[in-house]
Every structure is written in structure tokens, then in C-alpha cells.
Amino acid sequence: MDRNKTDKTQLFMYAAWLVSIIATLGSLYFSEVKGFIPCELCWYQRIFMYPLTLILGVATFKNDAALKQIVLPMSITGGIISVFHYMEQKIPGFGGIKPCASGVPCNSEYINWLGFITIPFLAMTAFTLITIVTLCWTNNKK
């Protein structure tokens, strides 16, 4: 039974790591290949996502579930920033709360798939998945 819990924990760790890799590569694709210039809030989301790729990779290979104490605050904070950014894009009048100082406006939408999928929505989905999977590996250890 204990081995089964360890195997499940390892799968959850791999899943969280995979989500962070996909999110990081997607972010780099949009900026480096498509030429989309990140706004200020995009940079904050990157600040929380990029290290997660390294931290989750180390946690997975070392089988160190204790790193969840670092992963959860980062994924939750990044998710909150993503929600704020998405609301700024989609809710009229919300964008005036925190105007960007310079560069690309934070309410601009480079992509708008199916009328609701924007880059902050993709980031929000990734942060949410990482948070849920991390909570699953936490609950699996008990």
C-alpha cells in the first residue's frame, strides 16, 4: 500500500512538472517565435511560472514531495495574478484599476481563441492545474 502511494505521488509530481514545462514553452513560443511583447502582468506571471519548471523538475527527480511548500505559494500567487490579468482583459472598466506604466497595455489580447481563451487564461489554467495536482500529491502522502 505504501508503495502505491509513492507511485501516485510520483505521478502527480510528473504531471505538475509537465504542466509547468508546457506553460513555459508556450510562453517562450508566444514571445520568441510569434513576437508578442509581454506586458507587465505577463512578466509577473512568468516570474512565478519559470522557476516552477526547475523546482518541480528537481522535486520529481529527487522524489522530494516536501518542495510542495515552495510550489503551492508560487502557483497560487501566479494564479491570482493571472485571474487579475484575465479580468482586466475581459471586464470593461476593470483595466483602469492598475494601468501599465509603459510598453504593451495589459488589457491587449494577442490571442482570443473561442472568444475567451487568451494568454492570461492559459496561464491561469496552468497555475490552477499545478495547484490542484500539488494538493493531490500532498493529500496522497497522508
pLDDT digits over 17-58, tens only? 999 999 999 999 999 999 999 999 999 999 999 999 999 999
Q: Which CATH number goes with the domain that contains 136?
A: 1.20.1550
Which residues, in sequence order, are CB contacts of 42 under 8 Å at separation 6+?
A: 27, 85, 106, 119, 120, 123
Domain around 72: 2-140
Tell me how many domains the chain contains.
1
Global confidence as pTM: 0.90
CA distances from 7 to 21, 27, 45, 62, 70 (A): 21, 30, 31, 13, 21
